Amino acid sequence: MSGLRNGPLAPGIAFITGGARGVGNAIAISFAKEGSKGIALVDIQDDATFQEGKSAVEKYGTKCITIHADVTDESQIERAVAETVKVFGRIDYAANFAGISGPLTAVVDTDTNAWRKVIEVNCVGVWLSMKHELRQMIKQDSIEVENGRVAQRGSIINCASVNSIQSGAGSSGYTAAKHAVLGMTKAGALEARSKDVRINCVSPGFLRTKLLDEEFMKATGSSMLGGPEGDAAWKTFEDRQGRQASFDEVGDVVVLLSTPRMSLVVGHNVVIDGGFTINEMPS
């Protein structure tokens, strides 16, 4: 025997909130490329977006189901977990990436209900997802691990952001929610480790997804992806990040962090930002 590892890196079942498009869908594609046997995309998107996200996953031969569920409604996320288990029997890797940017306005100008909404989706939604994924994972047997390594009944990756560490003017709701994701990840991880479940979070830098495009357009009347104002803002972010990032760069980190090879990584915040947060200068 050569002792070399072979076989798929992530053969289990993945459950991804916000999975219909953007970073969540990139994570699903990364799981498919690493041999996942089944993937559930959980989102509130329209049928066309769901279909596009599902086709992108199925290209790699992975069975993919779509579940329309709002992460802010406990009964809906509970149903999404149950439906996935009904189809695939278990959930090995959960990634909680449903999110919105919320209002990009100063505290004094921000509508209170809009502020509450970003907390509801990005903080309460992640907590509810984590709660019901964890309830399922602690009931199931471990996925296969190498001899001598600890069991892994499941892995949960929550989506934080560089805003879990730092902030920017006009992002009080988003920043509060992402700091909270980091906090709940640490507490949850300490509870879950004795049950053979690892919980971590990741903090992506700046990616040109529709998340920012739509909210930026609403907030400023211009597009984050187009127009001189949007381009100037992105240039500042990307200069500090070093370059433009691609969605699959986040997807691959989430998959690697989900495997039992990361057995001692617990309650960690993996920053995926090309050096943005350690860079005090714009470039």
Ligand X SMILES: NC(=O)c1ccc[n+]([C@@H]2O[C@H](COP(=O)([O-])OP(=O)(O)OC[C@H]3O[C@@H](n4cnc5c(N)ncnc54)[C@H](O)[C@@H]3O)[C@@H](O)[C@H]2O)c1
| Catalytic machinery residues | 174
Residue for token pair 């001189």? 228
Question: Residue 17's closest CA among 36, 52, 37, 44?
Answer: 44
Is 28 a binding residue for ligand X by CB under 6 A? The answer is: no
Q: Work out how close the CB of 70 gets to ligand X at its nearest, in angstroms, rounded to a whole number.
A: 4
Shortest Å, Cβ 131 to ligand X:
15
Q: How far is the CB of 240 from ligand X (least distance, A)?
A: 13
3-state secondary structure of 42: strand
Which of 44/143 has CB closer to ligand X?
A: 44
Pick from 10, 16, 20, 91 the residue near ligand X by CB under 6 A.
Answer: 20
Site for ligand X contains 100 (CB under 6 A): yes
Task: State which residue, 56 or 100, has the beta carbon closest to ligand X.
Answer: 100
User: β-strand 197-204 against 93-96: which pairing, if any?
Assistant: unpaired
If the CB atoms of residues 70 and 92 are measured against ligand X, the closer one turns out to be: 70
DSSP secondary structure letter of residue 97: -
Task: Note whether 43 binds ligand X by CB under 6 A.
Answer: yes
Rounded CA separation 12/38 (Å): 7
Contact flag: residue 98 with ligand X (CB under 6 A): yes
Q: Least separation, in Å, of the C-beta of 110 and ligand X? A: 17
How far does CA 222 lie from the centroid of its chain?
Answer: 27
Least distance (Å) between residue 193 CB and ligand X: 24
C-alpha 202/C-alpha 28 separation (Å) is 15
Candidate residues 80, 159, 189, 224; the one interacting with ligand X per rule CB under 6 A: 159
Among 16, 39, 67, 71, which residue interacts with ligand X (rule: CB under 6 A)? 71
Beta-strand runs (E) in 69-150: 93-96
Exactly one of 84, 129, 161, 171 binds ligand X (CB under 6 A); that residue is 161
Residues between 175 and 214 that touch ligand X (CB under 6 A): 204, 206-207, 209-212
How many residues bind to ligand X according to rule CB under 6 A?
29
Binding characters for ligand X, 125-154, by CB under 6 A (x = yes): x-----------------------------
Query: What angle (nearest 5°) sits at the alpha carbon of residue 141, between those of residues 41 and 57?
Result: 20
Q: Which of residues 238-277 bind ligand X (CB under 6 A)?
A: none
Nearer to ligand X, 40 or 121 (CB): 121
Q: Is the Cα dihedral 24, 27, 31, 32 positive or negative? A: positive
Radius of gyration of the chain (CA): 18
Give the residue, chosen from 12, 22, 102, 260, that forms a contact with ligand X under the rule CB under 6 A: 22
3-state secondary structure of 15: strand
- List, as own/partner pairs, every contact residues 178-184 make where C-beta atoms lie below 8 angstroms and the sequence separation is at least 24, other chains included: 178/122, 178/203, 180/119, 180/123, 181/122, 181/123, 181/126, 182/269, 184/123, 184/126, 184/127, 184/130, 184/158
Binding site for ligand X (CB under 6 A): 17-18, 20-24, 43-45, 70-72, 97-100, 121-122, 125, 159, 161, 204, 206-207, 209-212
